[in-house]
Amino acid sequence: TFKVYGEGFETLSLSIYDRNGNQIFESSSQTQIIDVGWDGRKDGALQESGTYIWVIEGTFFDGSPVRYQNKSTGILKLIR
């Protein structure tokens, strides 16, 4: 499961894309993103092992942007 960890978010959204650029997950629900996350499925179907791209957008209550290691995009590897 791929989740965002943290607190103090004013806004938050997470998208996951496959290697062809197709969006396979998107949520702007903080509860979904933080508590549930992406489980490696699209429309209930298990996705293939491989490389996926995550994109995170949002702001903290102090107005600063949400980043992970100063990046708003990154790569994740799905392993089954």
Q: What is the pLDDT of residues 16-60, one digit of tens each?
A: 999 999 999 999 999 999 999 999 999 999 999 999 999 999 999
| Cα(69)–Cα(80) distance, integer angstroms | 26
| Cα(16)–Cα(20) distance, integer angstroms | 11
Using 50, 70 and 90 to split pLDDT, how confident is the model at 80?
confident
pLDDT, residue 55, reads 98
Whether the CB-CB separation of 38 and 14 falls below 8 Å is answered with yes
Q: What is the pLDDT of residues 2-16, one digit of tens each?
A: 999 999 999 999 999
- DSSP-assigned letter for residue 18: -
| Cα(2)–Cα(53) distance, integer angstroms | 11
60-72: average pLDDT: 96
